Amino acid sequence: MREARPHSTTRGRFLAIAARREAPVTPLDILWIFLILSSLQPAFQQRLLVAQRVRWIRALEKRNGSRVITLIDCREGFAFLGIPFGGFIDIDDSEAVLRVIEMTDDSVPIDLVLHTPDGLVLAAEQIARALAAHPAGVTVYVPHYAMSGGTLIALGGGPDRPLPVRGARPG
């Protein structure tokens, strides 16, 4: 009778893998890889955009010695299968901006970066009044456009104290 020798499990796995043949990559595999990467691309692009925006905000705060508040397309617009999704200024946005304005020291100027296609009048008026009431200087930057509620905010200082607007295309 032959003695049974114990086989190494590692050796057995290696032989099983070596015996298996690699299948060629099919066009269907390439299609699946493309679909997976295409679905992940917007998330990567969004993270890159946020990182770039944070660097720009920190540089602006350091240069001007101010607090930078951004109101950019509110809930950052994006497109899925070519269909654009985006937002406008609503009550939640005005509450968030009002909280930041209240937390900002009275001696620190505010720089508001505003890029919005639309907005509720009530929310825009609340933001405009809070900015006009801030004792330190307020500068509004409009990098592209400020439509509807955005225009109301950008010009919200009132006739006696207009807010300086840079790069504006109000509408």
- The domains of the chain are located at 63-166
Taking the C-alpha atoms of residue 88 and residue 120, their distance in angstroms, rounded to an integer, is 8
Is 119:145 a contact under the CB 8 Å cutoff? no
- Looking at residue 141, its pLDDT comes to 85
- CA proximity to 70, closest of 84, 81, 83, 56: 56
Phi, psi of 164 (to 5 degrees): -70, 130
CATH superfamily of 63-166: 2-enoyl-CoA Hydratase; Chain A, domain 1 (3.90.226.10)
- Looking at residue 6, its pLDDT comes to 55
Taking the C-alpha atoms of residue 166 and residue 139, their distance in angstroms, rounded to an integer, is 8
- Looking at residue 166, its pLDDT comes to 64
- Looking at residue 170, its pLDDT comes to 53
- Looking at residue 169, its pLDDT comes to 55
Strands 138-141 and 165-166: parallel
Instruction: Provide the whole-model pTM.
Output: 0.65
Is 72:116 a contact under the CB 8 Å cutoff? yes
Q: Consecutive 10-residue runs of the chain (171 residues): their mean pLDDT?
A: 55 56 80 91 90 92 92 62 63 90 93 84 89 88 82 71 58 53
